[in-house]
Amino acid sequence: MAKIVLAVCGSVAAVRVAELIREFARRGVSVECVMSEASKKIIHPNVLEWASGSKVICEISGAVEHVRLCGVEGEADLLLVCPATSNTISKIACGIDDTPVTTFAVTALGSGLSLVIVPAMHVSMYYNPFVVENIKKLKAAGVTFIDPEVEENKAKLAENDVIIEKVLEVLG
């Protein structure tokens, strides 16, 4: 059974994550979750624990969860950052690891673990030239992006079926 780590950022699209986790489970994919502080203001960790069946990681502890899951020879097969904010995308592109989510991403990149990022934000943030450049930088480093649906001045989270299909493709 494939195992992914789902890293949740502080976009309002986080409200869709529990459904996404359940869909992965239906397809035989195990999910462990990590949340940023900002994401906990949108969706409670208990919801993700219910959906995944695993305790949610909300801070890095002495158990070095990021290394256990996303380090060299870690347990996870892929790190999915969904939804990804402009802030988190830019931090990952610059190697900054000051949140649980960015620490997992920096570890995954350094370990050669597959990383998939699914942006969701206002369109003005998505088209910010620095965010655009950071996305290009991450793509050049081998990171897979699932493009948002741009409508109503928002870069909306891709549909769950699109996300699942792409993640399964990357997993092989």
Can you tell me the distance from the alpha carbon of 82 to that of 75, in angstroms, rounded to the nearest whole number? 19
Give pTM, 2 decimals.
0.97
Contacts of 151 (CB under 8 A, 6+ apart): none
* Beta bridge partners of residue 32, listed in sequence order: 5
- Of 124, 120, 114, 128, nearest in space to 159 by CA: 120
Q: Please tell me whether residue 35 adopts helix, strand or coil conformation.
A: strand
Instruction: Return d(Cα 67, Cα 74) in angstroms, integer.
Output: 6
pLDDT of res. 136: 98
Phi, psi of 46 (to 5 degrees): -60, -35
Could you read off the pLDDT of 110-138 as tens digits, one per residue? 999 999 999 999 999 999 999 999 999 99
| Whole-number pLDDT of residue 40 | 97
Domains of the chain plus CATH, in order, are 3-171 (3.40.50.1950)
- Average pLDDT of the residues of the chain: 97
pLDDT at 75: 98
* Sequence-separated (6 or more) residues with CB below 8 Å from residue 146: 116, 117, 118, 158, 162, 163, 166
| 6: β partners | 33, 80
> Tens-digit pLDDT profile for the chain (172 aa)?
899 999 999 999 999 999 999 999 999 999 999 999 999 999 999 999 999 999 999 999 999 999 999 999 999 999 999 999 999 999 999 999 999 999 999 999 999 999 999 999 999 999 999 999 999 999 999 999 999 999 999 999 999 999 999 999 999 9
Order of all β-strands in the sheet with 78-84: 30-35, 3-8, 78-84, 114-119, 144-145
Q: What is the per-residue pLDDT for 95?
A: 96
Going 25 to 27 to 31 to 37, the CA torsion angle's sign is negative
For position 56, what pLDDT does the model report?
98
